């Protein structure tokens, strides 16, 4: 699941366990965008409002930033 705002990808992203090793190999302030793009897995985009464009990591942070969880 990937949060979006008006079609623009954002945060948070929920990844399946099958991608854990790839995520653990990330270094520095690098997101999982390339991992998602090359995984071949179906990506479900969920519009959570403008909060998707913030760096939030939990549902509570999405709500606190003014996002919606439907």
Judge whether 70 lies within some domain: no
pLDDT digits (tens, 9 = 90+) for 10-54: 888 899 999 999 999 998 877 888 998 899 999 999 998 887 888
Structural domain containing residue 23: 2-64
How far is the first Cα of the chain from the last one, in angstroms, to the nearest whole number? 13
Q: Does residue 19 belong to any structural domain of this protein?
A: yes
User: For residue 30, is it within any domain?
Assistant: yes
Residue 4 to residues 14, 18, 43, 65, Cα–Cα distance (Å): 12, 22, 11, 14
What pLDDT sits at residue 67?
80
Contact (Cβ atoms closer than 8 angstroms) between residue 9 and residue 33: yes
Residue 23 belongs to some domain of the structure: yes
What is the domain count for the chain? 1
Q: How confident is the model at residue 57 (pLDDT cuts 50, 70, 90)?
A: confident
Q: Is residue 13 part of a domain?
A: yes
The verdict on residue 51 lying in a domain is yes
Strand partners, 2: 13, 45
Separation of CA 66 from chain center: 16
Place of tokens 């008006």: 6
């Amino acid at each position: 699941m990937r949060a979006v705002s008006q079609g623009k990808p954002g945060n948070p992203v929920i990844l399946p366990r099958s991608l854990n090793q790839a995520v653990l190999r990330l270094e520095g302030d690098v997101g999982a965008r390339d991992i998602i793009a090359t995984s071949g897995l179906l990506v479900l985009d969920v519009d959570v409002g403008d909060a998707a464009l913030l760096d939030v990591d939990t549902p509570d942070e999405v709500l606190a930033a003014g996002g919606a969880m439907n």
